[in-house]
Amino acid sequence: MKALTIIQPWATLIASGHKVNETRSWKTNYRGEILIHAGKNPKDYTSGFYIDDPDGRYFHAAGINPGTFGDLPRGMIIGKATLVDCVQITKEFKDELMETNPAEYAFGDYRIGRYAWVMENPELFKEPIPAKGMMGLWNWEDDAND
């Protein structure tokens, strides 16, 4: 099954249904079910990313306390979703999203020319599965089922 490694807290936001678009610098033609892998490498969550949520209200609304990012699972497949579209970000797309869904906008890098990978049917697993992530879309095989 296809998998995508995403750093926290964005991985949890997608798997829990609080973030629909995963923004990337590259497009994909893949459509279908995708596993959400939370990357192992901790990052500084306040710099270098496009978070327009200085008071944490969007994170709090999603049930995530910005002070507890370090407690979120890492190095694990935490859920799945269905990748239904990949849309190049235009000024019109960005402006509409800013107006209609400011939380979604706050959780992504919507610079013009990037891509929004549109996810539906998210599912956050009760029991995350330890797995080593990779760059790009990658194939995960459940060794327990071989």
- Domain extents in the chain: 2-136
In the chain, what is the greatest distance between 2 CA atoms, to the nearest angstrom?
A: 48
Tell me what pLDDT residue 29 has.
Answer: 98
Give CA separation, 64 vs 10, 59, 100, in Å.
11, 5, 22
10-19, 72-81, 84-93, 134-143: segment of lowest average pLDDT: 134-143
Tell me what pLDDT residue 48 has.
Answer: 47
Per-residue DSSP letter, 96: H
pLDDT tens sequence across 20-49 = 999 999 999 999 999 999 998 766 554 445
Q: Which CATH architecture has domain 2-136?
A: Roll (2.30)
* 75/136 Cα distance (integer angstroms): 15
* 19/23 Cα distance (integer angstroms): 10
Instruction: Scan for tokens 């994909």, then name that residue.
Output: 28
pLDDT tens sequence across 78-128 = 999 999 999 999 999 999 999 999 889 988 899 999 999 999 999 999 999
Tell me what pLDDT residue 1 has.
Answer: 94
